[in-house]
Structure 1
Amino acid sequence: MTLAVRPGVSGGHYLEDHVVGQVVCSDPITFSRETVARYADAVGDSSSLHDPNIPGSTVHGPLIQAMAISWMVNTGVAARVLAELDHTWHYTKPVRIGESVTFRVTFTRIQRSRSRAKGLVHRTIDVLGADGDVLQHATSRILVEARTAVDDTQERARTAIGTAEWARLLAGALERDDQFTRLTSTWDGTIGFGIGTETMLLRVYKGRVLDVGRRMPHGPTFVVHASERTWVELVTGPENDFTRRAMCGQVQTTGDAYEYLRLNRTVVAVIDVMRALAREEEK
């Protein structure tokens, strides 16, 4: 779902104002020759790679990051950030001087701290060219101030993909799902879901989910890996397009390839249940 800054949110986004799957986009931002020249002068960069007087020169990576963070702060999306914990930026394509870009932020996880007065927000940041092509992208974790110190873990669990609370809800929903129990009625094994840097395992035996957790005694039969954002889009998007994403390289698998292919319909059915859980949270 693509949203502007949420109506009624004044003074910036508190932890409670973030929603898993929410997307916030900037207006087009142009990196003019003057802007790049001032930045180069400020940091003492005389490299021809970033010389605004040379056609085809590129914008400094740190300048793009700074502009993205400045936009997020000015619009309130990051006004309540207490700390940047992780920030990984990938420069897949250059941004040329004079080019206009759009920043797109997707929230992929919200997790309240033990103190309840703050919490972690996982997000991805894309730098889009004029044609919508992704020029650069980043992942980050930020610590965000909460409006009130309450425990809303259970209320948010249905979209807290990859957490223990979410996995327990998923296991219960799978055992009530006729398609899942039918597809796994004769199967004995462990299905893993790699969500970003974390993995959650489901121990399945003849249509039942016996256990969930990060580890199992004999390990997973196979693991389906994707980024946090891919999982969020799969679970909160308009349709279950797992097969398309797998064919496009957004999903990878490890472990027993034969069993994964044999249980491909089961994986799709599990994602259908994930999507149903997320829809329950929206009600």
Structure 2
Amino acid sequence: MNKYPIYIVSKGRWENPVTAKRFIKDGLDFKVLVEPQEYDNYCNSLGEKYILKLPFSNLGVGSYPARNYGWEHSIQNGHKRHWMFDDNIYKFRRVVKGKKIPCNAGIAIKVAEDFTDRYLNIGISGFNYSTFVVRGSSDDKPFRLNCHVYSAMLMSNEMPFRWRLKYNEDVDLCLQALHNKLCTVLFSAFTVDKVSTVAKMKGGNQTELYKDNAFEKKVLKSKSLQEVWPQYAETKMRYGRPHHWVSWKKYFKHPLIRSPFFDWESLKKVNEYGMKKVKMKK
């Protein structure tokens, strides 16, 4: 169903590879990027065809080297874009009149790909979190332009930028794109549900980066972004902890550029991509 390759970055979670299990259930092809010492564990859990072994291990800098490896892998295989997912996404939803209805992941991905390909200047697009889509909020619309995209990201391989930070790497990548006048798109017409790694999942960055001196790590995390982007980012106390803050609306107002190669008249007819509402048994 997907046009572009799907990658999941994962470490220490072969016993419960949440995103991978969702994709297998929904009939998607994908690759999980894993370090050599965990390759056999992930193969035993999911099957060898879904696993891509990284050429490095235990770098201690977070997930950005693995993400860049997936990026280069997609380019080597001739793709225009690629998906990068976190490993703790367990459900996709279609939002209809305020109702968040579970849907097939492949359909959500296909709709996002089609939308993104209609424009010439989208660097990054992706899915909002279901919990953030609330009636009357800024996310209560089909998509939001030029903002932070996270966890479930479709990226243009034509961008010269790469993942590069130990902390807040997704914010940094979005800022690289936006600073250079590319657009980002965050979809709320389709959303994802994500397991809280803080309370419920071991492994990943939660184990590698934040296991000791939690408060000090949060300060470092927020200030590291401010050091790279002092013109956009600042550190504030939010939710009872140090947190980065970017005023996306203030700084990034450039519009989408329509592709002249797309038949815009075709959008007058609604395409539901085969989706129908059905009543599920509880």
Q: TM-score, with normalisation over the residues of structure 2? A: 0.27
- Specify which structure has the bigger relative contact order, considering alpha-carbon pairs within 8 angstroms and separated by 6 or more residues: 2
Query: More strand per residue: 1 or 2?
Result: 1
Quick check: which has more Rg, 1 or 2?
Answer: 1
Q: TM-score, with normalisation over the residues of structure 1? A: 0.27
